Structure 1
Amino acid sequence: MANSSTGDSATERLVRILETFTPTRTVQTASEIGRRAGLPSSSAHRIVSELVENGVLDRDDDRRIRVGMHLWELATRSSHALRLRQAAMPFMERVQSRVREHTQLAILEQDEALFLERLSSPQSGSNITRVAGRLPLHASSSGLVLLAFGPAELQERLLSSRLSPLTRATLSDPEAVRRKLAEVRSLGHAIAPGYIEEVSTGIAVPVRDETGQVVAALSVVLPREAEPDFAVVELHRAARDIGRALGYRS
C-alpha cells in the first residue's frame, strides 16, 4: 500500500488507528483517534471515514467512533483462537463452578499473554484481567506457563530485557525468573502469589493441541490466603479434557 509523506504505509496507519482502541477506551472522536495514532487531522478523518464506510468502524449519532461488528466478524471467522475457546469453554465452566473464582484462558501473542476468555461470579475476588487484555509473561501465572513451555529464543530474549515488577512479589530478576520457569516445567503448573495484585494468587496450567504443543494457559485467580491444591487439580483435569477436545492424545 502507498506510503504517506512521512514514510509510513497505509497499513501502518490503519493499524495505529485500530490500536487506539483499548478495553477501557471503546469510543473516541475522529480527532482523538488521529492524535493518539500520531496522524494529521485530515488523514485521520479521511481514513476513519473510509473504515466506517466499510464497516470496520462504526459512527454513532454523536459522531463518536467505535470498533465495528464487521471487524469482529472478520477476526473470528477463521480464527484458531475461536476454535481453542470453543473447545475450552465447557471445561472452563466446570472449573469456575467448582473453584468459584475467576477462570481464564490465555495464549502467547507478541511476547505477552493475551486473554481470550474469562469466567467469573459475583463472589469472585479481585482480578484486573480483561478479555482481549494482555499481561506480561514474567509477571502472571498464565504468562509463566506460556514462557516456560515456549521457544528457547523467546525465553532468552525476554530474560535479556528489563523486567518490570508490578508488585513487590513480582519476579523481575532474570535468574529468579529462570528458576521459576524450571519449576513450572517440573511441576506442570505455575503458582504466582501476589505477582499481579498483592491480594491475589494466579495459578495456571498448560493446554496442548493435537501435536502436543502448548498453545494456551488455563488459569484461575484465587484470594491470596486461599489454598491452591484443589484449584491445581481442577485445572489439570480441565487442561487434559481441553487437549483431548483438540485432538491431543498423551
Structure 2
Amino acid sequence: MARKAASGSKPSAGDDLKIDPSLLPTLLQHAADVVVEAGSHAAELADEADGRGKRCREYFRKLTELFDLYTSPTNLAGGNPKYPLPAIVAKQLGSFCSYLSAGIIPDPIKHCARRGRPLGPDEGRDVRYAVIYVLAAKRRLIRDRHPLETIVKEYGLSSRKTVQTWIVKHREAIAQKSFADPGLIMDRMHEAARRYRVSGHEGLRGDRVERHADRHSDTRPVAPSLDRDSGRADRRH
C-alpha cells in the first residue's frame, strides 16, 4: 500500500519497502485505520456466508501491510521501532491470542481457510522464481530452449499448463531488476524447485492430516466482531 511511494499501487515482486520518513507516521495511522475498517466490515457481515472468507482474508492482508510498514527499515532504529503499533490493532491481536491460547479458533481466522491448497507466501515466492527463469530464458538471458519443460521437471509438476498458469498470474508483478543477474536467476530457481518439491508433496499429505484432526478439535464459533473503540473481539453464542 505504501511501497516505494504513497501512491497505493501494487508493488512489484522483489521491490524493497521504500518510504519517505516524513510520511511514515501518517502511513502507519492510515494503515491502522484501514485494518480497523476491514475488521469492522467483516464483523458487520459476519452472519452472511457469501464472501465471508474473502472479507476475513482482506482483514489479515491489511494487517500484513501494516506490519510491513511497522517493521520497515525506515521505522527501525537499532532494531527498535520509532513509531509504535497502534493500540487498537494490538488489542485485536491480543484478543485472538487469548482465544487461541484457550484452544478456540476465532472466526476471523477460521473463515480465512480456502478450498483446495492455495499457495502460501513461501511457495508463492518459489513460483515467482520459476516465472522469472522462464521469462529470462525467453529473453535469451539464460541458455535454455525449453524453459517450460525445465520447470516441469525441476518442480516435479505433471503438466506445463501449471507453468503457463503461473506465468499469466505472476509475470506482471516481476520487477525488472529481477533479471539483472542470470546466474542468480538459475541458482534461485534450483533452490526454489527443491523447496517446492518438498513442501508440495509433504505439505499436501500434512494438509489432509490437519483437516482430519480439525474435525475432532474444539472449534466453537467465534464471530469476528471487532469493536472499533476497544479492539475487542466479542464472542457470540
TM over 0.5: no
Q: Could you state the TM-score of these two structures normalised by the residue count of structure 1?
A: 0.27
> Higher strand proportion, which one?
1
Q: Could you state the TM-score of these two structures normalised by the residue count of structure 2?
A: 0.28
Structure scoring higher RCO (CA < 8 A, sep ≥ 6) equals 2
